Chain A
């Protein structure tokens, strides 16, 4: 079993839809959870960061962490064509250490 599992998709939605992206993990020691957005041939861009369990909201994006289920989610409201990208979940057990990444989910939002 891989440490972090993420469905690679692709996921196709119409503009304005609510998108749900998810990752599961096996290491209960993970405490720092991040979501990155990566456009083709570019470096990952930090979208959301959450420490331990709970929800965090930033504009159209909401990140949720459920440590009891070892499950994290990213919700995108009112999705836009510019949201079309690969979304990577990442996590680690200690601040400042290397991140463990999921495979990434490719999202396509059509206008």
Chain B
């Protein structure tokens, strides 16, 4: 199957700092990537849809000024959590769409102290 990578896999930061998470499709080009958030023992909640070369589409309740998404190329999308707070601590997962299926990255665990 297609491979999606995420970097970093784990990050710990201080409250008020910004954190950037990268999502790459390694062996295919993805015009659309998705960013999800997952709390412990919960399912994946869609945060935003990232389209190459255009602005991301955010789900209701997701602050676009706080969660900045950039999809600069067909293989890379980034999520920047700005001015992070402890309540932003979570597991962030990206996925990339290829034809009619989606492949997920391994996830990034963010801990904000």
Contact = CB atoms under 8 A, between A and B. Distances in A.
Interface string A42-85: 11111001010000000000000000000000000000000000
Contacts of B93: 43-44
Interface residues of B, number: 25
Q: Give the dominant DSSP class at B's interface.
A: strand
Q: Give the dominant DSSP class at A's interface.
A: loop
A43 B100 contact: no
Contact of A102 (B1, B34, B43, B109): B43
A30 interface: no
A99 interface: yes
Contact of A41 (B43, B49, B99, B107): B107
Contacts of A104: 43
B91 A41 contact: yes
B104 interface: yes
B100 A44 contact: no
Contact of A103 (B43, B46, B99): B43
A74 B23 CA distance: 29
B100 A96 contact: yes
Nearest to B97: A96
Contacts of B99: 95-96
A104 B45 CA distance: 12
Contacts of B105: 43
- Listed from nearest, the 7 A-B pairs whose CB atoms lie closest are A95-B100, A43-B104, A43-B106, A43-B107, A44-B104, A96-B97, A101-B43
Interface of B: 1, 4, 6, 32, 34, 41-44, 46, 49, 91, 93, 95, 97, 99-107, 109
28 contacts: A32-B101, A34-B101, A34-B102, A36-B104, A41-B109, A42-B106, A43-B4, A43-B6, A44-B93, A45-B104, A46-B1, A46-B101, A46-B103, A49-B100, A51-B100, A95-B97, A95-B99, A95-B100, A96-B97, A96-B100, A97-B97, A98-B34, A98-B46, A98-B49, A99-B34, A99-B46, A101-B43, A103-B42
